[in-house]
């Protein structure tokens, strides 16, 4: 951070050529670099409600998912007795009805996240919607859902502590079944969930990641130091493979600026367009964010943040996702009940309860073996008939093979001929991200 301050002092004194294409003034450069290098909160205690809508599946796809699940759990229905086959049919119907209702109103959950240094704890409970079950049968009836409020007890608690070798021990408490699962895992930094939530007080991770890589001395994660020459190039509009424009925004109720950012391949072909509306004085306070595919301009992600508190943290965040044709596919809504940043968290939060009435299950596999098995499982998903499973396999492999770009590139290239456009788009995105990191 000390080096960053020195560089910013240098940037402010630089005379920016007014005629340079996409040039930025020194104040804009300073705010942009400061926002890009803003650190995540060192500790957090947050309680929030999440509503998640997934519009990608229809009734037939849900039925197939649960039919396959019951085949794996039990036996094919053709081999079951009449009574068991009838029971299975009703259970499939129940799950399909629930999934269709959640598609309509969203799947709701309540979470509490606490973390500091090398310790974290996540408490979770899920809700269910009101619905009519067993429609069209003699068993049809109304089933009241499970509502979530401040008094709803959590059903799952996960405590994770990391040692100096970056290996964690994870304790998962399943409170309803009175079970504790203990597992050692290889840690790859904070979990995606914690990164997402803590990132609401910063620029979106895709933006900060791009800016840090483009403006740094190194391409290695965790060692991205700002480079004064590249920062100067940013102001002049001559930074390689990226174009940024900043201008006042008059479409919001805030005093804001709009930041347009286009990324280019080494062949000067645009492959990503990101647009932000930020506070005019603090670019890390983001009111909205959009990501487009430059060719055709299809919107693939939109994020809206609102109800900021005195800590600069939004208490309402909506995230909309779209496919490559612009079709609305998913929605996440986060509503914050309370949040504290950079305050000391009692050590008792991370202490393990003896839980004498809980059954303890310990997994002895090494973290490396667990990772190898996970990679093998994700590769199998790439062969699945369900295209959503193939997409999830690609996304998971991108995370697990981040240190093995050659293998990841080969896998992504092999999926460019997939029959589903979403799979091909995901493979293209992985290849583009690999290219931008080179």
In a domain, 358, yes or no: no
pLDDT at 365: 60
Assess whether pLDDT exceeds 50 at residue 434.
Answer: yes
If asked whether residues 208 and 288 sit together in one domain, one would say yes
pLDDT at 38: 93
Residue whose structure tokens are 């290889």: 186
Say how many C-beta atoms besides its own lie within 10 A of residue 406's C-beta: 9
Domain count, the chain: 2
Assess whether pLDDT exceeds 70 at residue 284.
Answer: yes
If asked whether residues 376 and 291 sit together in one domain, one would say no
- Residue 360 corresponds to which tokens in the numbers above? 């303890």
Rounded mean pLDDT of 158-179? 86
In a domain, 214, yes or no: yes
In a domain, 18, yes or no: yes
In a domain, 412, yes or no: yes
Strand duo 141-143 + 156-162: pairing:
unpaired
Rounded mean pLDDT of 331-349? 94
In a domain, 116, yes or no: no
Q: How would you classify residue 320: left for phi > 0, otherwise alpha for psi between -120 and 50, otherwise beta?
A: beta
Is 250 in a helix, a strand, or coil? coil
pLDDT at 14: 38
Write the DSSP assignment of 406-437 as a string of letters.
HHHHHHHHHGGG-SSHHHHHHHHHHHHHHHHH
Among residues of the chain, what percentage have pLDDT more than 70? 89
d(C-alpha 200, C-alpha 208), whole Å: 12
d(C-alpha 354, C-alpha 84), whole Å: 40
pLDDT at 314: 97
Q: Please enumerate in sequence order all residues whose Cβ is within 8 A of that of 364, keeping only pairs 6 or more positions apart, or say none.
A: none
If asked whether residues 213 and 293 sit together in one domain, one would say yes
Rounded mean pLDDT of 160-171? 82
Reported as a single tens digit per residue, the pLDDT across 30-74 is 999 999 999 999 999 999 999 999 998 899 998 888 888 887 776
Rounded mean pLDDT of 271-276? 89
Rounded mean pLDDT of 234-255? 87
State the chain's mean pLDDT as an integer: 84
Query: CB of 162 within 8 A of CB of 188?
Result: no
d(C-alpha 29, C-alpha 215), whole Å: 11
In a domain, 208, yes or no: yes
d(C-alpha 109, C-alpha 90), whole Å: 25
- Residue 384 corresponds to which tokens in the numbers above? 């699945």
**Last residue of a domain, which of 297, 313, 329?**
297
The highest-confidence range among 23-27, 33-37, 63-67, 355-359, by mean pLDDT, is: 33-37
**Last residue of a domain, which of 297, 330, 354?**
297
d(C-alpha 372, C-alpha 182), whole Å: 19
CA distance readout (Å), 149 to 48, 125, 204: 10, 10, 29
In a domain, 48, yes or no: no
In a domain, 416, yes or no: yes
Assess whether pLDDT exceeds 70 at residue 149.
Answer: yes
Assess whether pLDDT exceeds 70 at residue 19.
Answer: no
* Of the listed ranges 84-88, 255-259, 273-277, 298-302, the one predicted with least confidence: 84-88
d(C-alpha 37, C-alpha 8), whole Å: 11
Assess whether pLDDT exceeds 60 at residue 366.
Answer: yes
Assess whether pLDDT exceeds 80 at residue 251.
Answer: no
Reported as a single tens digit per residue, the pLDDT across 80-119 is 788 888 888 888 888 898 899 999 999 999 999 999 988 9
- Residue 337 corresponds to which tokens in the numbers above? 């009940």
**Last residue of a domain, which of 240, 262, 297?**
297
DSSP label at residue 158: E
Instruction: Look up the domain containing 410 and give its range.
Output: 366-437
Query: CB of 160 within 8 A of CB of 168?
Result: yes
The residue among 16 and 292 whose pLDDT is bigger is: 292
pLDDT at 50: 96
Reported as a single tens digit per residue, the pLDDT across 197-232 is 999 999 998 899 889 888 987 544 445 788 899 999
Residue whose structure tokens are 């203990």: 182
Q: Which of 363, 208, 356, 226 is nearest to 289 (CA)?
A: 208
Query: CB of 74 within 8 A of CB of 66?
Result: no
């Amino acid at each position: 951070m000390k080096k960053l301050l020195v560089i910013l002092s240098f940037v402010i004194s630089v005379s920016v050529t007014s005629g340079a294409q996409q040039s930025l003034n020194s104040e804009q450069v300073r705010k942009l670099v400061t926002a890009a290098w803003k650190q995540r909160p060192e500790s957090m205690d947050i309680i929030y409600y999440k509503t998640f809508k997934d519009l990608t599946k229809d009734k037939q796809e849900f039925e197939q998912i649960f039919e396959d699940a019951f085949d794996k759990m039990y036996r094919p229905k053709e081999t079951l007795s009449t009574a068991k086959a009838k029971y299975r049919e009703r259970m499939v119907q129940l799950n399909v009805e629930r999934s269709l209702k959640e598609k309509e109103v969203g799947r709701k959950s309540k979470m509490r996240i606490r973390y500091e240094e090398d310790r974290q704890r996540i408490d979770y409970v899920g809700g269910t919607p009101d619905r009519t079950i067993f429609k069209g049968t003699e068993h049809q009836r109304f089933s009241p859902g499970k509502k979530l409020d401040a008094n709803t007890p959590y059903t799952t608690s996960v405590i994770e502590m990391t040692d100096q070798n970056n290996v964690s021990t994870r304790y998962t408490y399943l409170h309803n079944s009175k079970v504790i699962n203990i597992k050692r895992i290889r840690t790859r930094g904070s979990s995606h969930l914690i990164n997402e939530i803590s990132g609401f007080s910063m620029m979106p991770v895709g933006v900060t990641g791009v800016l840090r890589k483009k403006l740094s001395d190194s391409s290695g994660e965790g060692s991205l130091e700002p480079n004064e020459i590249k920062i100067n190039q940013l102001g002049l509009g001559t930074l390689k493979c990226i174009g940024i424009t900043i201008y006042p925004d008059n479409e919001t109720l805030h005093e804001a600026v709009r930041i347009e950012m286009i990324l280019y391949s080494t062949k000067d072909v645009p492959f990503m367009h990101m647009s932000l509306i930020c506070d005019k004085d603090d670019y890390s306070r983001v009111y909205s964010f959009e990501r487009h595919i430059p060719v055709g301009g299809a919107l693939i992600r939109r994020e809206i943040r609102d109800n900021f508190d005195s800590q600069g943290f939004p208490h309402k965040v909506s995230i909309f996702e779209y496919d490559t044709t612009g079709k609305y596919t998913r929605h996440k809504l986060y509503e914050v009940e309370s949040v504290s940043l950079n305050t000391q968290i009692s050590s008792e939060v991370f202490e393990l309860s003896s839980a004498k009435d809980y059954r303890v299950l310990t997994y002895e596999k090494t973290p490396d073996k667990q990772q190898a098995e996970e990679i093998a499982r994700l590769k199998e998903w790439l062969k699945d008939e369900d295209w959503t499973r193939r997409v999830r396999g690609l996304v998971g492999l991108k995370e697990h093979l981040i240190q093995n770009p050659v293998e990841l590139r080969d896998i992504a290239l092999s999926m460019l001929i997939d029959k589903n456009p979403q799979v091909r788009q995901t493979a293209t995105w992985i290849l583009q991200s690999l290219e931008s990191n080179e």
